[in-house]
Amino acid sequence: MPPPTSLAAVVLAAGFGKRFRSASTPKVLHPAAGEPLVGHVVRAVAGLEGLDRLIVVVGHGKSQVMEAVSSRWPEAIFVEQPEPRGTGDAVAVCAEALAGFDGQVVVVSGDSPLIRTRTLAALVEEHRKSEAAVTALTSIMDDPTGYGRIIRSEADGSLRIVEEADASPDEAAVREVSMCFWCFEREPLFRALAEVTTDNAQGEYYLPDVVPLMAAAGGRITTVMAPDPSEVLGVNDRKQLADATRLLRSRRLDELMASGVTIEDPAATYVDTGVEVGPDTVIRPLTFLEGATRVGAGCSIGPSARIVDSVVGDGADVSFAVLKSVHVGPRAQVGPFASLRPGTRLEAGSKAGSFVELKASTVGERSKVPHLSYIGDAEIGAGVNVGAGTITCNYDGETGTKSRTRIEDGVLIGSDTMLVAPVTVGRGAITGAGTVVTRDVEAGTVVVGAPGRPVRRRRPKAGDPPHGGEGR
């Protein structure tokens, strides 16, 4: 028997996916719980101990599939199946990629996102222990429609796999099914593939047809039952995609709750598989945590929050808000009804309050943008208070330029201030309500009017709070 490290994997990802009715997206790239279908499968396969070669068979949309997989798993080897001639042909085209390899070959379907590494590892373990030529992963299903049936012979204990299109009524009634999860010995596999024909209802080269050929050559055939029938489910249309997404998210919620996260209503909480959440965080209903989001410990998230590809620090509070590609520091507050757009960063203890929109801006420690403001392309220092209705006028409609606004530490921005970028408001300055700032404001200066003009110097007194003014 080959050493345990002699393991290769073939992921079948060449299918068109006609039932998706998608003109632009290959079947295996449709996302489920934040990751393409094939991404879930490759992750499960890549986790196998001792994996020597990772091969992905591509066909329809090959460049898109290759880009999606290689960006995460650069070690992947891609093999093209020029024509969609069946699963047997898809494995046969890997002969060159497996040249010189002498060990076990795991073959998996690229459209089955629920498969777990531990289940594939059990498949390999049983295959090696039994010294089989081929081991199939099977499952008992209440409704086996669409899957190949496992037909066992009571007389001699042999088995064969019959595709649904070729099954008789009695065979179609069998509920034990074969999924496209296999472990083969390489040499007998490719010997049998050379003998497979297209004598079937679909006129294709079926991979299961190698089973009787390998048995006839004296190879041992074994099966392993999947511990959870949902793991082997394939995704062939958008309804099945929705079902798989729901199951993947449910798994992630179970994992998070087991790790110390409170989820008030799992049925109304949507967390992608790649999201991480720290202990003692509370996630309230109608929260969506998507992509590569990282939420710290002791946070309050939701209700009605959508956080995408963002980092939320320990102890932060986010409710009724949308965050996309932003960084929220520890103990910061967001919402209600706030929109934080890409490139925004809230430092520790800062606030973006009700009906506030931030874009490509930094809000310093303990600084507050409490309500009804738009801050874009701005850098706000520490201890700043931004009054209601403040707007950074950052866009030049003639040139298309977006200029930056700089507000230094301890500034008080009055209500309805317009900051016409590029402009800097110096440390400790104040703008009066309704001021239009068109030029830099010196540190410690009070400006009012439209355009803003200095009226006096501000003289901070001992014991002044780090921030003040309207809107606190």
Task: Point out the least confidently predicted range of 8-17, 139-148, 186-195, 327-336.
Answer: 139-148
Q: Where are the domain boundaries for CATH 3.90.550.10 in the chain? A: 7-232
Pair of tokens at residue 77: 């080897």
Instruction: Give the chain's radius of gyration (CA, Å).
Output: 30
Asked whether 186 and 192 are in contact (CB, 8 A), the reply is no
Q: Tell me the DSSP string of 185-233.
A: EHHHHHHHHTT----STT-S--GGGHHHHHHHTT--EEEEE-SSGGGG-
Pair of tokens at residue 297: 């410990």
| pLDDT tier at 3, thresholds 50, 70, 90 | very low
Of residues 171 and 93, which shows the higher confidence score? 93
pLDDT tens, position by position, 352-375: 999 999 999 999 999 999 999 999
Of residues 395 and 472, which shows the higher confidence score? 395
Whether the model pTM is above 0.85 = yes
pLDDT tens, position by position, 11-61: 999 988 888 999 899 999 999 999 999 999 999 999 999 999 999 999 999
Of the CATH numbers 2.40.30.10, 3.40.980.10, 2.70.98.70, 2.160.10.10, which one belongs to the domain with range 247-457? 2.160.10.10
Of the CATH numbers 3.40.830.10, 3.40.50.170, 3.40.1710.10, 3.90.550.10, which one belongs to the domain with range 7-232? 3.90.550.10
- Active-site residue, from 30, 40, 127, 371: 371
Residue 30 bears catalytic tag = no
pLDDT tens, position by position, 237-282: 999 999 999 999 999 999 999 999 999 999 999 999 999 999 999 9
| pLDDT tier at 467, thresholds 50, 70, 90 | very low
Q: Where are the domain boundaries for CATH 2.160.10.10 in the chain? A: 247-457
